[in-house]
Chain A
């Protein structure tokens, strides 16, 4: 039963972080327990629900299907490190969540999807977003939010704004709810 911890140097949300972890620790648990990044949720720990989705080198992946030990040298991005708030705003405006538990995972997946070039078609959107389960909404709300962002991005209207948001790091989230 004895197991040795190891020191892992991880890149998380742009920072270098050290984790004292067991080789068997999942990235999900290291994010939550070592760094307090609880946006990734343990919905099933079996790769079935997508609530723990994060980016690894920009690719959305389920953090319950990764060992933390696999991650040194890779850029891990969690919902807490997501820059640019368009997808998040669209989810709010379209009421694309209720309880919110699946939302960080959905947004991480949708955000990566919306950055695809050329812009994804309906089949690709469905294929990607079927990776996450939402038990509250009808998915129509999510579809509207994601399509809206994809469409705006494909029209290039947000290109400049996105850059600005990345730079000031606010994610464009300041005071958006009022009004």
Chain B
């Protein structure tokens, strides 16, 4: 049984410029092209006809997309790095470990950082560490090559223009020294989508949090952070107040009811905040 019930063409440009130009041509030709990194989502959703395209543009051998390292005080994460590569590099445990909560190891050998962030699924857990660290993203597209804070572009999803390609993310290296928490709670299986995933970090100014699974999109909420950093109140009360400031309704689906999700989030938040306030970290 073929997995994909519709035909598409496969392209593998060698450079960013080629990729963007190709996208433009194919788009103009009505091919509804998609950039293809790990491709796992295009394949699985395509099988269910939840994604349609007539052309995929495989970008994962473009050197800029494969970059991994430090540059000018920043970690540079090529969008085509697999989640396994990001994890195994060990440069930034919050990102590595949060990404390592996605799917399973051999899937993560294929799933890329960029693919996860630009996913159609609602979880996109790899974006959480980028949100709490005010990371930068480099986008190449028909309007050129630009760098922007992720907070400006990420609102439920990464807001890209037509033909825009996420090339890299960049995180100030100093964040790797800070206490952090990454917690993922699932319904029952070791491999599953989250009931809730929390990525958090404690800076000089206070704690920062980003969540996935709680609402129908990943988010970081400054309003909630203000409440959660109000040390005049006990942790339990801060969590209670913060839950009233969620940016959307709590998910209620086959993984968990909204009632239980909220409870699980509260328990995990208690654990996270107690650790961070002590300056301790929690990894997977």
Contacts and interface: CB of A to CB of B under 8 A. Distances in A.
Interface string B3-21: 1101111101000000000
Given A29-B2, A45-B1, A62 B105 contact: no
A127 interface: yes
Interface stretch (A64-72, A80-88, A149-157): A64-72
Contacts of A45: 1, 3, 47
A30 B39 CA distance: 17
Interface residues of A, number: 32
A13 interface: no
A61 interface: yes
A70 B3 CA distance: 15
Contacts of B109: 59-61
Given A24-B7, A26-B3, A61-B110, A127 B47 contact: no
A2 B7 contact: yes
Contacts of A101: none
A109 B106 contact: yes
Contacts of B10: 6, 23, 67, 69-70
Nearest to A3: B7
A61 B1 CA distance: 20
Q: Interface range on chain B: under 10, 10 to 19, 20 to 34, or 35 or more?
A: 20 to 34
Contacts of B106: 50, 53, 60-62, 109, 128, 131-132
A25 interface: yes
Contacts, number: 84
Contacts of B43: 26, 47, 64-65, 67
A1 B2 CA distance: 14
A131 B3 contact: no
A26 to B, nearest CB: 5
A50 B110 contact: no
Contacts of A132: 106
Interface of A: 1-3, 6, 22-26, 29, 42, 45-47, 50, 53, 59-62, 64-67, 69-70, 109, 127-128, 130-132
25 contacts: A3-B7, A6-B10, A23-B7, A23-B8, A23-B56, A24-B3, A24-B7, A24-B8, A29-B3, A42-B1, A45-B1, A46-B44, A47-B43, A47-B44, A53-B106, A61-B106, A64-B43, A65-B43, A65-B44, A66-B39, A66-B110, A69-B58, A128-B105, A131-B107, A131-B191
